[in-house]
Amino acid sequence: MKAILFMPNYIGDVLMVTPAIRILKKYVSSLETHVVIKQALLELIDSNPYVNNVIVKISRWQTLKDIVRIKSDYAILFRTTFFNSLVSKLSFVKYSVGTNEEFSSIFLTETIKKDFFRPYRSECAILVEKFLNHIGIEAKILPDELKKIDFFGWDTQEIKSSVEQKLTKFGIDTTKKLVVVSPFSTRKTKMLTIEQYVELVNLLNKKYKKDIEIIFVGDKNSIPFVNQIMYKLANNNICKSLCGELNLKELGYLLSISSYLISVDSGPAYISQAVSTKTIIIFTSTLPEKYGPYNENVKIVYNPVLCSPCYKNECKIKNYKCIKQVDLNEIVDSVLL
């Protein structure tokens, strides 16, 4: 048996799918899983023992050809789009399942209702349950089974050596407690202001003084934002930046040797959960419940306002109240070293 698994397009979402894939293979160990994913996210699953093959999305036409060539029996759409639904139909699978959106019901064998408030991990679990039921296996996946996120390959000697070299290069003292901060997001409504991050760094430094190393992380797009934070710090030697320096597996290793990650609702917060690091996630315009269940290492900081959650890129009423009322002292008080 072969199954095509269509993956989402963001780091955190991909990692939140991994419990469902693990459970799928637990019930049907002989199932060949063929994962369809963006090149930029390949690191998240290329070492996953529950994934048999990876189809990297290059172009729509190439993706279609690669999927048809597999001659799959089934398709599970962990990201339901018109294109993914159409490809499922054109690949002549016996059974396909996804959420009822973007006209997917025209092409899919079965769909489930799209529920804005349902946790994404639960949605993935329901899709797996539907598939298992189709092949004659009754299964009820419990919330506790979804807490563990799978991320493999970050603890190899090659990755460790690479990260250690970069820590030395940037003068990061690993004899101190490492507190990593991931401040950036593709959505402005998910980020604190530059001034808030400056205050956060100063509060952490005041509390722990020379006992910690504060490290900013992020992709290349985060560099200008983080540079502004460091420029506004009275003493920019109290923190370091590794923005644009680490791939996803290297970030996983760095987080594994760190005491805490403080992050907005973005990919690093889910990598941190996968490597069992204490994680403080700041939610503003998104709903924490949608991205759980969380393990015991996760602390949620969320003070919703009347318009929360909006899931918008920009604040429609222009006051960004959900960001401005984030309690920085709550964050600092949650860092216990």
Query: How does pLDDT run across 165-180, given as a tens digit for each residue?
Result: 999 999 999 999 999 9
Domain boundary among 95, 111, 146: 146
Q: How far apart are CA 50 and CA 45, in angstroms?
A: 9
Residues in the chain: 337
What pLDDT is stored for residue 63 in this prediction? 96
- Domain assignment present for residue 173? The answer is yes
- Domain assignment present for residue 152? The answer is no
Structural domain boundaries enclosing 249: 157-334
What pLDDT is stored for residue 16 in this prediction? 98
CA angle, 107 as apex, 105 and 109 as ends, to 5°?
Answer: 75
Q: How many domains does the chain have?
A: 2
Within this chain, do residues 17 and 79 fall inside the same structural domain, yes or no? yes
Q: How far apart are CA 143 and CA 122, in angstroms?
A: 7
Within this chain, do residues 169 and 247 fall inside the same structural domain, yes or no? yes
DSSP H or E run through 160: helix 157-169
- Domain assignment present for residue 41? The answer is yes
pTM of the model: 0.95
Within this chain, do residues 167 and 311 fall inside the same structural domain, yes or no? yes
Peptide bond into 288 cis (omega under 30): no
Provide Rg for the chain, Cα atoms: 21
What pLDDT is stored for residue 155 in this prediction? 97
DSSP H or E run through 185: none
- Domain assignment present for residue 199? The answer is yes
Within this chain, do residues 210 and 98 fall inside the same structural domain, yes or no? no
Residue 4, Cβ density class (10 Å: 0-12 exposed, 13-18 middle, ≥19 buried): buried
What pLDDT is stored for residue 317 in this prediction? 86
The residues near 141 (Cβ < 8 Å, ≥ 6 apart) are: 20, 23, 125, 128, 129
Q: How far apart are CA 122 and CA 231, in angstroms?
A: 42
Q: How far apart are CA 126 and CA 259, in angstroms?
A: 34
Within this chain, do residues 28 and 107 fall inside the same structural domain, yes or no? yes
Q: Give the residues of the chain that fall short of pLDDT 70.
A: none
Within this chain, do residues 178 and 72 fall inside the same structural domain, yes or no? no
Within this chain, do residues 120 and 17 fall inside the same structural domain, yes or no? yes
Within this chain, do residues 223 and 87 fall inside the same structural domain, yes or no? no
Domain boundary among 124, 146, 168: 146
Q: DSSP labels for 234-288?
A: S-GGGEEE-TTT--HHHHHHHHHTSSEEEEESSHHHHHHHHTT-EEEEEESSS-G
Quickly tell me which residue has 């189809």 as its tokens: 55
What pLDDT is stored for residue 234 in this prediction? 78
Within this chain, do residues 140 and 213 fall inside the same structural domain, yes or no? no
Within this chain, do residues 197 and 135 fall inside the same structural domain, yes or no? no
- Domain assignment present for residue 151? The answer is no
Query: How does pLDDT run across 179-236, given as a tens digit for each residue?
Result: 999 999 989 999 999 999 999 999 999 999 889 999 999 999 999 999 999 999 977 7
Within this chain, do residues 186 and 320 fall inside the same structural domain, yes or no? yes
- Domain assignment present for residue 57? The answer is yes
Quickly tell me which residue has 């018109």 as its tokens: 82
CATH number (domain holding residue 165): 3.40.50.2000
Domain boundary among 89, 113, 146: 146
- Domain assignment present for residue 234? The answer is yes
- Domain assignment present for residue 20? The answer is yes
Within this chain, do residues 260 and 164 fall inside the same structural domain, yes or no? yes
What pLDDT is stored for residue 130 in this prediction? 98
Residue 306, Cβ density class (10 Å: 0-12 exposed, 13-18 middle, ≥19 buried): exposed
